[in-house]
Amino acid sequence: MAGTTMNTDERPKIEINDITKVYELGKEQFYALGGVSLTLADNEFVTVVGPSGCGKSTMMNILAGLDEPTSGTARVDGKLVKGPSPERGVIFQQYALFPWLTVRKNVEFGLKTARVSAAERHERAEHFIEMVGLTQFADALPKMLSGGMKQRCAIARAYAMNPSILLMDEPFGALDALTRVKMQEHLLHTWEQEKRTVMFITHDVDEAAFLANRVVVMAARPGRIQKIVNVDLPYPRTEEMRLSREFADLRNEIWHAVYHQSPKSDRTDAITANQESEKS
């Protein structure tokens, strides 16, 4: 098991404690998560990076309340996560906007469901649409927006619900490289203004380092935390920082942790040993 604790006296915002997620595949057990522990402080921005299948989405879905762990616990503000909640906003790679609603109506949608008054809905939507730079497109339908703009609309919608946590699963994965960089800057700008505790999954090592206070590197089979890298660069992060020696060193450290992973841990050995004994 790998894990970490924050250097803070405050109670963590998020506590993931020795979570496993086991799938039965025929007679075999597959550990999508093999005992993961992690804490996030309030308003921390943590990115999670790792090879395909290492359990990043599984961990996030458990935190979102969309999936249950086989063992272990996920807590937010000390309370057990038992299902989805408006306090945890989730943003996926697919924009999930309603195509028949304008940007404004998409942003207001969740607020309407939560029975927020029309005046407040309008005010909140205006604020967050402006924050993501879509004021001129407030009355446009999603089909009139680029991929980056759609994702900005999804971010405005998530913020408008006023969640204390944002869970983002590869939100920029479908965007071209330049738009992606712009979106990273947009997101950080928004986060610096509004804060929130963010867990952000990505396959992109640069993106992971550029955004985060800490980068969690995961490994597969079983899904586990391989390493946690502190990013001691100040905010706001800039293009100059991206080109700095310090950033290059960070990128190398993360890259090395992602691509030079030990193939097995003790737990995998145990599973493999069980499988071998079942076969014989």
Where along the sequence are the contacts to ligand ATP (CB under 6 A)? 23, 32, 50, 52-58, 223
Nearest approach, Cβ of residue 127 and ligand ATP (Å): 32
CA distance 217 to 205: 10
Nearest approach, Cβ of residue 104 and ligand ATP (Å): 32
The smaller minimum CB distance to ligand ATP, of residues 161 and 219, is found at 219
The smaller minimum CB distance to ligand ATP, of residues 124 and 180, is found at 180
DSSP label at 2? B
CA distance 39 to 17: 8
Nearest approach, Cβ of residue 58 and ligand ATP (Å): 3
Nearest approach, Cβ of residue 12 and ligand ATP (Å): 22
The smaller minimum CB distance to ligand ATP, of residues 67 and 126, is found at 67
Q: Is 95 exposed, middle or buried (0-12, 13-18, 19+ CB in 10 A)?
A: buried
* Alpha-carbon torsion angle 103, 179, 59, 89, nearest 10: -20
Nearest approach, Cβ of residue 4 and ligand ATP (Å): 19
What's the first-to-final CA gap in the chain, in angstroms? 29
Contact 247, 234 (CB under 8 A): no
Nearest approach, Cβ of residue 170 and ligand ATP (Å): 7
The smaller minimum CB distance to ligand ATP, of residues 185 and 204, is found at 204
How wide is the angle at C-alpha 87 spanned by C-alphas 237 and 53, nearest 5°? 65
Nearest approach, Cβ of residue 159 and ligand ATP (Å): 24
CA 105: distance to chain centroid? 25
Tell me the helix, strand and coil percentages in the chain, rounded to 5.
40, 25, 35
Contact 97, 154 (CB under 8 A): yes
Q: Can you list the positions of beta strands (E) in the chain?
A: 14-25, 28-40, 45-49, 71-76, 79-80, 88-91, 165-169, 197-202, 214-219, 224-230
Residues facing residue 41 across a β-bridge: none
The smaller minimum CB distance to ligand ATP, of residues 50 and 65, is found at 50
Contact 44, 198 (CB under 8 A): yes
Contact 215, 24 (CB under 8 A): no
The smaller minimum CB distance to ligand ATP, of residues 20 and 151, is found at 20
The smaller minimum CB distance to ligand ATP, of residues 108 and 169, is found at 169
The number of residues in the chain equals 280
The smaller minimum CB distance to ligand ATP, of residues 29 and 162, is found at 29
Nearest approach, Cβ of residue 201 and ligand ATP (Å): 7
